Every structure is written in structure tokens, then in C-alpha cells.
């Protein structure tokens, strides 16, 4: 066998080996590739955080881009965003923040800001169009919490919004996923799925969405859940998205009550975004 043949054989063997590999190097460490991507070597990690601490401010910002409040009863504070023991911990407390106004109005609803909690986003630091977005998460238990893992367009219009994970902890075994889309706030549509699986407060679970130009698909622990969203026109409305991770109190999740244990923690072990290498077809 001449040199050229050997080169060809070696190249073929390398291809076989690389096709069988399901792990990649990230930040000097080997991480498992999520099962939904394993048949396609073109996917690579383009964003990650293992929260080995302190919070990496080249990747994350405190607060919502529009301020410390939203459609819930917690005032968001950087002091309630903690990174320890390899975890991002958003801490909800049963106390009013000294800077919090008594109430806010959002979407016609009035919210009394009696609680303090935390949020981080990648706005202006990491924004992406299409990919496989995943995080390993443990949500708090008890009545009154609404932990979420979601994305918004960087240019600020709404809709669209991709909700990878929303859990109302009064129903700890129910996962809510959503894609909000449409021409305006008043004239929006939602691809909403509500799926009862198992108690998400008991352990860490991986939540993901695979977002391509042709479909959106949601996953829990690498297993597809619900059905796909196929509408290319409205999928194209999402672009340059940033990630939000927040622990809301009250609002859609309902209010805390006497049984609620404080403080409560929403823990994130890691976040990763995978994309196809440039030039690869989605």
C-alpha cells in the first residue's frame, strides 16, 4: 500500500472514530454531546457557562434589560444572584427590597413588590439565531415561585419569545413551553404546550429547545417532549436572541402562602448553546 493509500485509510479511520465520538472539549473539559445532536458532527458549543464562579460578567448581566421588575411580585436584585459550588443560584426572599416601589403595573395588572429575587441575561453579551439551547436546572419547591429559562429578541420587540422552561412550583410536575409570535402585543399567537412529567423540584434536569429555521422542538433530559412547531414564517421572527434565567415570585405562578419555605433557590448547574458550524446546512 503506497503512502497515498495509507493516508486515505487513516483519514477514513479518523472519520469513523470522530463519528462515533459523542463528547467534545469545552473550556478544557470533555462534555457529553446531547443525544438529539449526536448523529451530526457539525454541531459545536458556541456559548457555555459551568458557573465555576464568580459570575462571568462578560457573559451575563444582572436585572432585566428594561429594569428590576416584570410581570410578578419580586424586585430583582444583584445580591440575590449567587454563584457557589459550581451553581448559579437565584435566591427568592420573603422581604421587600429597600429600592422597590410599593407597586408596579404591567400589562394592566398591578403587582405589590413584597419579595426580592434574581435574574440574569446575556443581553448585548451573547445573542444568537438558531441553535440547541440547554441548561441543567433544579427548581425550588412550594407555592408561589415561577422559575423560567427563556429567550427574547435583542432588538426589544415583543413578540417573539421562546420559553424553553417555565414551571409554576405549585404544580411541580408540570412543564410549560411556549413560542409567542405574531405581529403585535395585542395580536399574538402562542404555540403553547403543557406537559405533566415528574416532580422537577427533586433533582436537576436538562431542559432544551432545538431551534432551526424550519422547526422548534423542546427536550427534557435529551428526550423530545410535546410536538414540533413548523411555521417557518413565524420562526423567522426570532433572531439575535439573548437568554434570560429568572426566578419570579407571584404573577402567573400564584402567590406564596404560609406553607412556602424561605429563602428559595433556583439552581443552574450549566448553560450551553450549540450551533452548526458555519457553512453547514441546518
Footprint of Ca ion (CB under 5 A): 50-51, 86, 269-270
What is the spatial distance between Cα 184 and Cα 177, in angstroms, rounded to a whole number?
20
Q: Which residues pair with 152 in a beta bridge?
A: 161, 242
Q: DSSP alpha helices (H): ranges in the chain?
A: 3-20, 232-235
Nearest to Ca ion of 86, 183 (CB atom): 86
At which residue does the C-alpha cell 438529539 appear? 36
What is the spatial distance between Cα 192 and Cα 179, in angstroms, rounded to a whole number?
6
Nearest to Ca ion of 203, 258 (CB atom): 203
Nearest to Ca ion of 216, 247 (CB atom): 247
- CB of residue 120 vs Ca ion: minimum separation in angstroms? 14
Nearest to Ca ion of 51, 229 (CB atom): 51
Q: Is cis: bond before 263, omega within 30 of 0?
A: yes
- Sort residue 51 into left (φ over 0), alpha (ψ -120 to 50) or beta: left
Report DSSP letters for 207-239, one per residue.
EEEEE-SS-EEEEETTEEEEEEE--HHHHTT--
DSSP-assigned letter for residue 37: G
- CB of residue 201 vs Ca ion: minimum separation in angstroms? 19
- CB of residue 93 vs Ca ion: minimum separation in angstroms? 23
Nearest to Ca ion of 104, 247 (CB atom): 247
For Ca ion, the nearest residue by Cβ is: 86
What is the spatial distance between Cα 97 and Cα 67, in angstroms, rounded to a whole number?
14
What is the spatial distance between Cα 277 and Cα 121, in angstroms, rounded to a whole number?
24
- CB of residue 49 vs Ca ion: minimum separation in angstroms? 8
DSSP-assigned letter for residue 35: G
Nearest to Ca ion of 37, 271 (CB atom): 271
Let me know: does 47 contact 59? Beta carbons within 8 Å.
Answer: yes
- CB of residue 270 vs Ca ion: minimum separation in angstroms? 5
- CB of residue 3 vs Ca ion: minimum separation in angstroms? 47
- CB of residue 50 vs Ca ion: minimum separation in angstroms? 4
Nearest to Ca ion of 48, 262 (CB atom): 48
> Rounded to an integer, what is the distance from CA 2 to the centroid of its chain?
52
Neighbours of 55 (CB within 10 A): 16
Amino acid at each position: 500500500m503506497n503512502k497515498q493509500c495509507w493516508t486515505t485509510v487513516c483519514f477514513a479511520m479518523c472519520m469513523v472514530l470522530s463519528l462515533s465520538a459523542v463528547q467534545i472539549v469545552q473550556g478544557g473539559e470533555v462534555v457529553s454531546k446531547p443525544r438529539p445532536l449526536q448523529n451530526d458532527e457539525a454541531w459545536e458549543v458556541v456559548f457555555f457557562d459551568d458557573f465555576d464562579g464568580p459570575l462571568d460578567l462578560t457573559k451575563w448581566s444582572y436585572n432585566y434589560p428594561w429594569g428590576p421588575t416584570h410581570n410578578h411580585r419580586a424586585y430583582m436584585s444583584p445580591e440575590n444572584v449567587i454563584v457557589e459550588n459550581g451553581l448559579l443560584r437565584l435566591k427568592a426572599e420573603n422581604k421587600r427590597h429597600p429600592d422597590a416601589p410599593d407597586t408596579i403595573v404591567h400589562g394592566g395588572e398591578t403587582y405589590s413588590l413584597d419579595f426580592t429575587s434574581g435574574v440574569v441575561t446575556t443581553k448585548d453579551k451573547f445573542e444568537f439565531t438558531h441553535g440547541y439551547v440547554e441548561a441543567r436546572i433544579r427548581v425550588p419547591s412550594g407555592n408561589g415561585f415561577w422559575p423560567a429559562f427563556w429567550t427574547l429578541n435583542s432588538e426589544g420587540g415583543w413578540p417573539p419569545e421562546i420559553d424553553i422552561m417555565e414551571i409554576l412550583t405549585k404544580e411541580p410536575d408540570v412543564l410549560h413551553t411556549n413560542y409567542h409570535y405574531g405581529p403585535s402585543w395585542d395580536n399574538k399567537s402562542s404555540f403553547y404546550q403543557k406537559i405533566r412529567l415528574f416532580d422537577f423540584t427533586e433533582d436537576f434536569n436538562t431542559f432544551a429547545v432545538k431551534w432551526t429555521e424550519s422547526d422548534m422542538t423542546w427536550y427534557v433530559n435529551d428526550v423530545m417532549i410535546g410536538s414540533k412547531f413548523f411555521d417557518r414564517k413565524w420562526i423567522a421572527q426570532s433572531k439575535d436572541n439573548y437568554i434570560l434565567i429568572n426566578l419570579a415570585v407571584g404573577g402567573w405562578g400564584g402567590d406564596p402562602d404560609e406553607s412556602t419555605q424561605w429563602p428559595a433557590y433556583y439552581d443552574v448547574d450549566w448553560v450551553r448553546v450549540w450551533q452548526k458550524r458555519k457553512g453547514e446546512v441546518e
